[in-house]
Amino acid sequence: MSEEKSLNFIEEIVEEDLRTGKHGGRVLTRFPPEPNGYLHIGHAKSICLNFGLAQQYNGKTNLRFDDTNPVTEDTEYVESIKKDIQWLGFQWAEELYTSDYFETLYSYAVELIKKGLAYVDDSTAEEIAAAKGTPTEPGIPTGYRDRSIEENLALFADMRAGKYKDGEKVLRAKIDLASPNMHMRDPLLYRIKHAHHHRTGNQWCIYPMYDFAHGQSDSIEKITHSICTLEFIPHRPLYDWCIEKLEIFPSRQYEFARLNMTYTVMSKRKLLQLVNDKFVENWDDPRMPTISGLRRRGYTPASIRNFCDKIGVQKRENMIDVSLLEFCIREDLNKTAWRRMAVLDPIKLVITNYPDGQVEDLVGENNPEVEGGEGHRIIPFSKELWIEREDFMEDAPKKFFRLGPGLSVRLKHAYIVTCNDFVKDENGRVIEVHCTYIPNSKSGEDTSGLKVKGTIHWISVPHAKEAEVRLYDRLFNDENPAAAENFKDSINPESLHVIERAYIEPDLATATPGKGYQFIRLGYFTLDTHSTPEHLVFNRTVTLKDSWGKEVKKMDK
């Protein structure tokens, strides 16, 4: 089915600009993270949008670290951000830092002062806030609004020179204290902060505010389309004001709805709390909605890009069901993951009529979804097997198509077996299931003529490799944890279930992190990044069950 996709509103703007020859047909976007945390799935939406637009219209995208707050920023974050963007499959044209523009931004501020459009204010933060008025009442000038240009120039130079303490003075734009837009009521442009910056060290003790850095940085780089989230709509008049008054390159800001997802918190500040309060292991804990967490969990770049494509670009806030993200990874792994067997809760099955010491090398395709199966692996079969505890029932109900006294089942890739007996330990717990096998029922060459309804997975006892397996659930029980007074109240205490000793196919010892495996009947898994050959650890990426898929199919009809 060939499907003509309609343009989203930003694509429409870009196409219109290309049609009218604005910027000479040039498209230059930027992705501007603040290096104060790891990227999350919300950032992925912004990355896919910015880099995607550039790819689509033969343009480029800059990576700009918005590093104007020395206190919260760190090079560890810079490195992780670069890694995550590349992992998602995108490459920036230039790696840039707002801090590289500090000198230029300073000169812009001086220019505004010279034009009578900025002044140094000695008021405290509280005094400034109080004089700002309310949305229904205009603000009033503090006593410093009418300082002379000369005085402002001298004071601002002294601010830079370090003559004042933090908070003693600020530089403000002189715009309109009665503006219905609070952001236009003489907004702060510079604040004093005696702090070490991760790139400029102690060179500066005044730092530009977001509103005085972002638009100007866009302009310095000659960004054509500066895309940000909806909360910046009220900042746009100030963005435009600065560009107009400074007479610099006219970058334009466009806003789209940020990604919100059910059962997820998305702000870096909250994610940092989860890390600091040890609710999760780290930023890359597989339960985190960070790119690094999703990667460690076993999400693929393609699944995340596909998710961002599916959710699209909107002008209004909405909430995306996290099961759509799960649908996207299932869809991808179903096509790419190699099939393997693993037993998470083992009991022993003994085939009483199978020769002692005999081993058969059975063959299993790696990926039945593709022609040729992407090769195959050898699965050793022997007299004693591990099977899943829940695949045996002492008093099986009628429709239980697995094992129980007198019941038959197919062992995947192997034979049909019939259960004759079982053994319990002193606590009454079943520890061994005894079966006989039908020698001419081997998969692929079955001449037994027998039909059985169920197939179960297994691992040969002498060949089994041990592994720790981690099963994850949602990190929050509340659908919208961020809306609560304290988002940590709804943390799911059972978001991680560790199986200390599962049995896996021997060939899984060569697994690598990021390679997806379907443990048949159990879900999709990948090797954990902290796994070692001595202690293998697998993470469950997602279960096999696919409830959202049905919804999507219904919607398509």
Q: Which does 45 bind (CB under 5 to 8 A by kind): Mg ion, ligand ATP, none?
A: ligand ATP
Residue pair 492/477 in contact by the 8 Å Cβ criterion = yes
Of 142 and 217, which has the nearer Cβ to Mg ion?
217
Residue partners of 329: CB distance under 8 A and separation at least 6? 298, 299, 300, 303, 524, 541, 542
Of 105 and 333, which has the nearer Cβ to Mg ion?
105
Residue 230 binds Mg ion (CB under 5 A): no
Q: Which does 104 bind (CB under 5 to 8 A by kind): Mg ion, ligand ATP, none?
A: none
Site for ligand ATP in 255-274 (CB under 6 A): 258-259, 266-268
Catalytic, out of 268, 297, 402, 540: 268
Of 68 and 518, which has the nearer Cβ to ligand ATP?
68
β 206-208/188-192 pair status = antiparallel
DSSP state letters, 337-380: PEEE-EESSEEEEEETTSPTT--EEEEEES-TTSGGGG-EEEEE
Least separation in angstroms between residue 34's CB and Mg ion is 5
Least separation in angstroms between residue 259's CB and ligand ATP is 4
CA-closest candidate to residue 212, choices 176, 230, 186, 233: 186
Out of 42, 215, 293, 298, the residue judged to bind ligand ATP by CB under 6 A: 42
Q: Is 34 an annotated catalytic residue?
A: yes
Nearest 10 degrees: Cα torsion 6, 260, 210, 48: -40
Angle between helices 41-56 and 75-88 (to 10 degrees): 60
CA-closest candidate to residue 144, choices 162, 133, 131: 131
Residue 45 binds ligand ATP (CB under 6 A): yes
Q: How many residues belong to the site for ligand ATP (CB under 6 A)? A: 15
d(CA 9, CA 5): 12
Catalytic, out of 34, 111, 151, 551: 34
Beta-bridged to residue 172, according to DSSP, are 119, 188
CA-closest candidate to residue 271, choices 263, 261, 279: 279
d(CA 215, CA 173): 15
Least separation in angstroms between residue 113's CB and ligand ATP is 28
101-112 b/e (C-beta count within 10 Å ≥ 16 → b): bbeebbebbbeb
Binding mask 219-248 for ligand ATP (x = CB under 6 A): ---------xx-------------------
Of 65 and 538, which has the nearer Cβ to ligand ATP?
65
Residue 210 binds Mg ion (CB under 5 A): no
Residue 33 binds ligand ATP (CB under 6 A): yes
Binding mask 65-94 for ligand ATP (x = CB under 6 A): -x----------------------------
Q: Is 488 an annotated catalytic residue?
A: no
Least separation in angstroms between residue 235's CB and ligand ATP is 11
- Phi/psi of residue 321, nearest 5 degrees: -75, 125
Residues in the chain: 557
Q: Is 268 an annotated catalytic residue?
A: yes
Q: Which does 540 bind (CB under 5 to 8 A by kind): ligand ATP, Mg ion, none?
A: none
Beta-bridged to residue 361, according to DSSP, are 380
Binding mask 33-52 for Mg ion (x = CB under 5 A): -x------------------
d(CA 489, CA 491): 6
Residue 331 binds Mg ion (CB under 5 A): no
Of 266 and 527, which has the nearer Cβ to ligand ATP?
266
Residues with active-site annotation:
34, 258, 268
Residues that bind Mg ion (CB under 5 A): 34
Residues that bind ligand ATP (CB under 6 A): 32-34, 42-43, 45-46, 66, 228-229, 258-259, 266-268
